Amino acid sequence: MKNEKLVKTIGYILLVVSCILFLLILVFPWFDFSKKQLAIITTSLIVAGEILFYASIFLIGKSFIEKLWQKITFWKKKPDPTISNDEVEI
């Protein structure tokens, strides 16, 4: 039980770090770097952010993904419970 909680905590930490890396992409162009350096830094941040994001999703688990998708798809029209499938004509 403790081990499972520790794994989920590490997963949440990795998720936060990946979000920070993606936000840093917006910050680095304001510093005095050459275009080549900015390209390398931006590419590195994107790759590291993606790797950490997928690692965090793997550690957190399927239940978190399902909750996330429920929150993301809140705008989808929910089916009307008063209409049954038998009543709908095509």
Question: What are the residue ranges spanned by the domains of the chain?
Answer: 2-61
pTM higher than 0.75: no
B/e letters for 26-58, b = 16+ CB within 10 Å, e = fewer, are: eeeeeeeeeeeeeeebbeebeeebeebbebbbe
Instruction: Write out residues in the chain with pLDDT < 70, as ranges.
Output: 74-90
Query: What's the confidence (pLDDT) of residue 72?
Result: 75
H helices within 28-90, ranges in order?
A: 35-60, 62-72
Query: What's the confidence (pLDDT) of residue 77?
Result: 59
Q: Which helix (H) or strand (E) holds 81?
A: none
Query: What's the confidence (pLDDT) of residue 48?
Result: 95
Please report, as a single letter, which amino acid is at residue 33: F
Query: What's the confidence (pLDDT) of residue 84?
Result: 60
